[in-house]
Amino acid sequence: MANPGPNNTQTTMVNERNVPPDGAQLGSSAAALIGIWGATPVAQSSPAANVHTVAAGSVTNVFVNTTFDGSIGSTAYTVGDIVAALKLLGVLKS
């Protein structure tokens, strides 16, 4: 079933022309629900939620091809995948 996204259809566009001088903020607390690109809005997650690490080898070392699934779904990512996605989003500088 497709994710229906949030029920709120009101959209506020934030760009460099209308950001207040003290910056912009998404959510007023860690309990605020936020979702992007049609994902169901959720509260800020806790790092303790990730309990699965699928290692390339039989030891606990992290290799270039070690993948992580974040304990959610079946898609796993390497650290390089995550860095690339963050750079594409502009969260990390390219």
pTM, entire model: 0.56
> Cβ(43)–Cβ(31) under 8 Å?
yes
pLDDT over 50 (residue 57): yes
Find the range with the poorest average confidence among 11-15, 28-32, 44-48, 74-78.
11-15
* 51 has a pLDDT exceeding 50: yes
